[in-house]
Amino acid sequence: MAYRSRTSTIHFTMSRTLVIGDIHGGLKALTQLEERAKVTTEDQLIFLGDYVDGWSESAQVMEHIMQLAAKQSCIFIKGNHDALCEEWLRSGKQDRTWLMHGGIATVESYATVDAVTKLAHLNFLEQMKLFHIDARNRLFIHAGFTSMHGPQQEFYSTNFTWDRTLWEMAITMDKRIKKDSLLFPRRLKLYEEIYIGHTPTVNYDVSVPMQGCNVWNVDTGAAFTGPLTMMDVDTKQFWQSDPVKDLYPAEMGRNK
C-alpha cells in the first residue's frame, strides 16, 4: 500500500500587548484603530482610561469595550473622567465642573440608554483598576503617583487619576542622567517602564506618543485636535486614528 504524505501550513498568531490612550467618547476612532492595527482576540488590550467625556459616543464606547472584554484579554484602567461619570451614574448628580469638561456630551449619549444598561456600565466602571503592573514590571496608570514606594503605598488614591507631577518630572529630566545614577528619580526607578495617559501630547505640539526617561505618554489628544493612539509595548510600533475631530466634524469635542 502506498502512502501519500501530506503537508499542511500552520499559521501562528503572535499575541501582542497593546496599550490605548484616552478615548473620550470617540468610538469611531477606536474602531478605526482596531482595523488599522489588525487587532485579534489573541492580543491583550490595556486601556489607560478616560473612555468618556468629549465626543458624542461615550455610552457607546462603554458598551464596545465591555464587548471586547467578553472575547479577549483586556485591562481597563480608570481615568479621572471615568470616576466623574461613575459618580453621576451612581447618584444622578451632575457636577458642574464635570459638565463643563466634557460631561454634557456624556449625559447626552446616555439619553436613550435604559436603566439596566446604565447599571451594567456603572458596575463595569466600579470594577476598573487604578493601576496595573505586568509580569515584566511595567506599570500602566492613567495619571501618576507620588509615593517613593510606588502606587501601592500612595496616600491619596486620587493621584492615580489626576497627578501630573510624574509626567512633568519625566519630560523635563536631563537625558544625560542614566537610570543607575543617584540623580535618577526614585519613583521612576521602581519600574522597567511606565505607561500613562491624562496629559495630552498636543499640549506640547506633538501628536504622537512621547517618551520622558522610562515613561511613555500615549494620550495624543483625541479629546481635542489629535488622533487616538494604540501602541505595541514590546516593539513600540504604534497606530493612530484620523484626528478625532475629523471623524466628528459637526462636534467640538473638548475644544470649547
What residue segments make up the domains of the chain, in order of their start?
17-247
Block residue for cell numbers 499575541 = 15
Is residue 10 packed enough to be buried (19+ CB in 10 Å), middle (13-18) or exposed (0-12)?
exposed
User: Distance of CA 232 to CAs 57, 93, 170, 212, 229, Å?
Assistant: 25, 38, 21, 17, 10
Contact 16, 44 (CB under 8 A): yes
What whole-number distance in Å separates Cα of residue 230 and Cα of residue 226? 13
Q: Which residues contact 44 (CB under 8 A, 6 or more apart)?
A: 15, 16, 17, 18, 72, 73, 74, 75
Question: What integer pLDDT is reported at residue 13 of this predicted model?
Answer: 58
Report pTM. Answer: 0.94
H/E element, 214: none
Strands (E), 48-203: 74-76, 131-133, 138-141, 193-196
- The CATH label, of 1.10.3720.10, 3.60.21.10, 3.30.70.260, 3.10.110.10, for the domain at 17-247 is 3.60.21.10
pLDDT confidence of residue 256: 80
- Cell readout for 43 is 492580543
**Among positive and negative, which fits the CA dihedral 63, 68, 70, 74?**
negative
Cell of 208: 504622537
* Cα separation values, 242 from 27, 29, 54, 204, 229, Å: 12, 7, 16, 19, 10
What's the grid cell of residue 78?
A: 480608570
Q: What share of the chain is helix, strand, coil (3-state, %, to 5)?
A: 35, 15, 50
* Sign for the pseudo-dihedral over CA of 215, 61, 242, 224: negative
Strands 44-47 and 74-76: what pairing?
A: parallel
Question: Going residue by residue through the chain (256 aa), what tens digit of pLDDT does each one get?
Answer: 333 444 444 455 579 999 999 999 999 999 999 999 999 999 999 999 999 999 999 999 999 999 999 999 999 999 999 999 999 999 999 999 999 999 999 999 999 999 999 999 999 999 999 999 999 999 999 999 999 999 999 999 999 999 999 999 999 999 899 889 999 999 999 999 999 999 999 999 999 999 999 999 999 999 999 999 999 999 999 999 999 999 999 999 999 8
In this prediction, residue 5 carries a pLDDT of: 41
Question: Are 70 and 41 within 8 A, CB to CB?
Answer: no
